[in-house]
A and B are shown apart, each in its own frame.
Chain A
Amino acid sequence: MSLLHTPPNRPNGKSVQLMTTCLCDAFYADVAQATVEVLEFLGCDIELPDAQTCCGQPAFNGGDWANSRKVVRHTAKVFAGDKPIIVPSGSCAAMLFHGAPLEFEKEADLPVIQDLANRTWELLDFIVNGLGITDWPGTFPAKMTVHRSCHLRGSNSGAAITTLLESIEGLDLEPIEEVEQCCGFGGTFSVSFPNISKTMGELKIENLTASKPDVVAAADMGCMMHFGGMMDKQGNTTKRMHIAQVLRDSLKNAGKL
């Protein structure tokens, strides 16, 4: 056990709430769409709470917990009920199940926040450990490297990603050097320390693309916005995909969607 303590006994029914995340809401519509298509392929009934905004992570990481709690309280209200909450991003999920209880330790409404935490799943963790899927019936003929986002550290998601990807027909998963190293995003960190962050990103891109993969994949759009934005600036055209997109496209390739 390490950084993230995934709550035990989370609800795992097929009637779920989807947290789009603000990044997918604003920038990455297709990632959210792929998430929906994958979950519906698995027979899930998806509720998309209309009043959702952001998980509160920027202010939490920035040290402004008072403002972060304001956003988390809103999120708890929007995602009330007893359904599992599915998040297609390791760091936003970790914000809800780990960060939020931390910043509410001394608050009277901690039980409400703990309940929110206890229902939150990162998407891949949910598919493998919530729904029990370990064999993905898709085809994806490509060489791929995967960035292990830091917010998967210590959670079940890392192993879940490997399980699913390894079971996809035709997919050649290449290991990368220094898999434990951060891409340098860190939210407000990349704004406060743009140069240190940049060097970290360059190293990550080097390691991710050393084996000349067809696709670089990850399960967190924060990381992907950062190192993807750098790859765009560098003119590096290696394709980048969220794991949800890989799962969805592999189903399409196999004629199952």
Chain B
Amino acid sequence: MKSFQKVDNAAFNLSDEVHEANFVGAKMKSERRYATLARDYPDADKLRETAGNIKQHTLEHLDQYLEQAEASFKRNGAQVHFAVDDAALNATVLRIMNETGSQTMVKSKSMLTEEVHMLDYLEKNGKTVVETDLGEFILQIDGDHPSHIVTPIVHKNRRGIAKSFEREGLGDYNDDPEVITRRARKFLRQKYIDAEVGLTGANFVSAESGRMVLVTNEGNSRFCMAANKIHIAVIGIEKLVPTDRDLGLFINLIGRSGTGQQLTVYNQFIGGPKKEGGQPHGPEQMHVIFVDNRRTEVLASECREILRCIRCGACLNVCPIYRQAGGHAYRSVYPGPVGAVLSPLLAGNRFPELADLPKASSLCGACNEVCPVNIPIPDLLLRLRDKAKREGAKNAMKGTPKLGMWATLCSQPAMWKTALSMGHTMNYIPTEMVPHPSAKSWQTTRKLPKFQGGEFRKWFKNRK
């Protein structure tokens, strides 16, 4: 059985290069985040709280807002589809491509497409799909998977990428980042021109106006709508906000939280397909697919706050466990603290397979502190630990000491005091030799303190 327990050792089997790339990449972004937020907003917590409240409100009235968004999109001239799960989403995309006689797709970054393995599905069905986000493009040619929500190739370095480009015939070995970027750009430009379909996700959607926002740093999502006639937007139902007025706050927060930028470089507002008197440029057809894929199950669970997430990655960057273990250790599309909550929930009846993820946290709360929508991630991790225990998920029990005896001891003051007075024997036992594996590994690097059980109580009683 795969579990995060193995990562505790395997983290150190990562090559030094990969380990350092993960660690430095995450740490740097976290520092930039603190600096940018603090510089512009003396009370950044107020922004986080407001944004969290707006998202929570939207989730609690999601039925209403979804209907409103559907109507708004239709008013703008878009075609609206709903997909209940991964199979439905993939089938809908394929159907749109077939019905419009489309063979080739350029796509910008979307975690949702990772979630449903859309690339594999479309390629198996004879379509050509090209990832246009530089990181995702590199993952595609390497057959690799993202290890971070925002910077998917944080685990890679330029030397490896240069080798991949050489292998793919994109030029001789050259690991200068600018050369790598120029080569990718040259390759991708032609793809944009050739493709019939451009597929994007959406960062935020205003239910009021049916206006969707895409933020990128490469401008690739704009190119995905430049030459093609068909635009498909795949949107998780949790991406809604009530009004256009709310967008300013979220656009402000996503750049600062994710990459420490005051504003992401490209902020694209899409108000529908090309239409006289409406959107002046862009594809002639716009298909919006709202996707559930177990989000309504999460909404009905006791961890619904996780659906506020705007996928900025700040919690990954600040997390000491993510920094060490890297994103692939989470064995799922969403890594880090948000992933440790979201992935087991989105797994449905495969929850037990990922029930170990909520355990992979020291509950330090740094994730909560940086979250732009104030998700109480540690509380949610704790709730899932309880759920795993109640459901007897074996994966989650590994390495956790059994606490039944301890609970009995703690509820019986007489026994407790006896234990305190007898515990002194501990000082004469070489505890390093105790053959319990956890006790042993703990003590290879830590010394236990001297036992002084009952001494304080004695002092307190006798001093007056």
Task: Let me know if B410 is at the binding interface, CB within 8 A.
Answer: yes
List chain A residues, Cβ under 8 A from B379: 3, 102
Q: Which residues of A contact B403 (CB under 8 A)?
A: 58-59, 62, 64, 67-68
Q: Does B459 contact A (CB under 8 A)?
A: yes
Cα–Cα, bound, A196→B388 (Å): 22
Which of B358, B362, B455, B456 has a CB less than 8 Å from the CB of A197? B362
CB pair A194–B364 under 8 Å, yes or no, is no
Are B410 and A189 in contact, CB atoms less than 8 angstroms apart?
no
Q: Which of B5-13, B72-80, B105-113, B293-301 makes up part of the contact surface?
A: B5-13
CB of B324 within 8 A of CB of A65, answer no
- Range of interface residues on chain B? 35 or more
Q: Are B449 and A27 in contact (CB under 8 A)?
A: yes
Mask, A176-202, CB within 8 Å of B = 1, is 000011101111111111111111110
Q: For residues 310 through 325 of chain B, which have their beta carbon under 8 Å from a beta carbon of chain A?
A: 318, 320-321, 324-325
> A26, A32, A73, A189 — which one has the most chain B CB atoms within 10 A of its CB?
A26
Minimum distance in angstroms from A70 CB to a CB of chain B = 5
Identify which of B366, B386, B411 gathers the most chain A CB atoms within 10 Å of its CB.
Answer: B411
List, in ascending order, chain B residues with CB within 8 A of A74's CB: 410-411
Q: Quick one: given A53-B416, A74-B411, A196-B324, are A36 and B460 in contact (CB under 8 Å)? A: yes
In the bound complex, how far is the Cα of B420 from the Cα of A3, in angstroms?
33
In the assembled complex, the Cα of A119 lies from the Cα of B9 at a distance in Å of 43
Q: Are A150 and B365 in touch, CB under 8 angstroms?
A: yes
Q: How many residues of A contact B (CB 8 A)?
A: 75
Q: Which of A53, A181, A228, A229 has most chain B Cβ within 10 Å?
A: A53
* Chain A residues positioned under 8 Å from B445 (CB to CB): 194, 198, 201, 230, 233
CA distance A232 to B452 in the complex (A): 18
List, in ascending order, chain B residues with CB within 8 A of A29's CB.
Answer: 452, 455-456, 459
Contact code string B347-381 (vs A, CB < 8 Å = 1, else 0): 00000000000111111111011000010101100
Q: A63-B386, A195-B12 are in contact. Are A28 and B449 (CB under 8 A)?
A: yes
Near B by CB (< 8 A), chain A positions 153-170 give 153-154
Residues on the A chain within 8 Å of B215, using CB:
none
Determine if A225 is an interface residue (Cβ-Cβ < 8 Å).
yes
Cβ of B101 within 8 Å of any chain A Cβ, yes or no, is no
Determine the chain B residues whose CB is within 8 A of the CB of A198 once the complex forms. 445-446
Does chain B have a CB within 8 A of A121? no
Q: Which B residues between 399 and 442 are near A, CB-CB below 8 angstroms?
A: 399-401, 403-404, 406-411, 413, 416, 420, 423, 438-439, 441-442
CB 8 Å contact bits of A211-250 with B (1 = contact, 0 = none): 0000000000000011011101100000000000000000
Residues of A within 8 A of B (CB): 1-4, 20, 22, 24-30, 32-33, 36, 48, 50-54, 56, 58-68, 70-71, 73-74, 78, 99, 102-103, 150-151, 153-154, 180-182, 184-201, 203, 225-226, 228-230, 232-233
Given contacts A153-B368, A195-B441, 20 further A-B contacts (CB under 8 A): A1-B45, A1-B374, A3-B376, A4-B365, A25-B456, A33-B460, A52-B413, A56-B410, A59-B403, A62-B401, A63-B358, A63-B400, A70-B407, A153-B366, A180-B369, A184-B362, A193-B399, A196-B324, A200-B362, A228-B449
